[in-house]
Amino acid sequence: MAKLKILKFPSPKLRIKAKEIKDIDKKIKIKIDDMFETMYDAPGIGLAATQVDFHYRLLVADVSSEQNEPLVMINPIVNKKEGVAINQEGCLSIPGYFGDVERAKTIWVSYLDGLGNKIDSEFDGLLSVCVQHEIDHLDGKLFLDHLSEAKRQRIRKSIDKEKRQRTKSSKSNI
């Protein structure tokens, strides 16, 4: 297994819409293992393949406190949404920033597991939020897209300021 590099906002690669996986081969199984290692190390509760510059419809998640309930979803499709929930979300691709996001409270999803078995599941609570967040990544969307324009602008300005400070700091260390 290997830890993968997580793309950071504002990388345009985070906006690429992921392609369907046609065959669950050895390459995909290795990528799944690497994504779990990367997610757990980050630490995070979900990771979409898009975030590690692999633009196929694959996500991993584990919302358990013991990190012992791994979930693999290949080619996930949300079939039904019900209710409304507002939760504070963050993202491994936008570390240190959070915002209240409105999502469906309960979702019904069809997907393939890591062995290629077709699964139909109902998710609610934190797992519902996590799955919706990661599917957004596969569609080229970020949690920022769910925030008000003013909140997005504040986060962008703050990230740009941090980047300028890092650049300035690295130049003064030369």
Hey, which residues are catalytic here? 134
**Which residues, listed in sequence order, are joined to residue 46 by a DSSP beta bridge?**
61
CA 98, 101, 79: angle at the middle one, nearest 5?
Answer: 135
The Cα–Cα gap between 162 and 174 comes to 19
Alpha-carbon distance of 3 to 6, in angstroms, equals: 9
Q: Measure the CA–CA gap between 52 and 33, rounded to whole angstroms.
A: 13
d(CA 142, CA 140): 7
User: CA 72, CA 114: separation in Å to the nearest integer?
Assistant: 6
**Contact residues for 9 (Cβ-Cβ < 8 A; gap 6+):** 91, 93, 94, 142, 144, 159
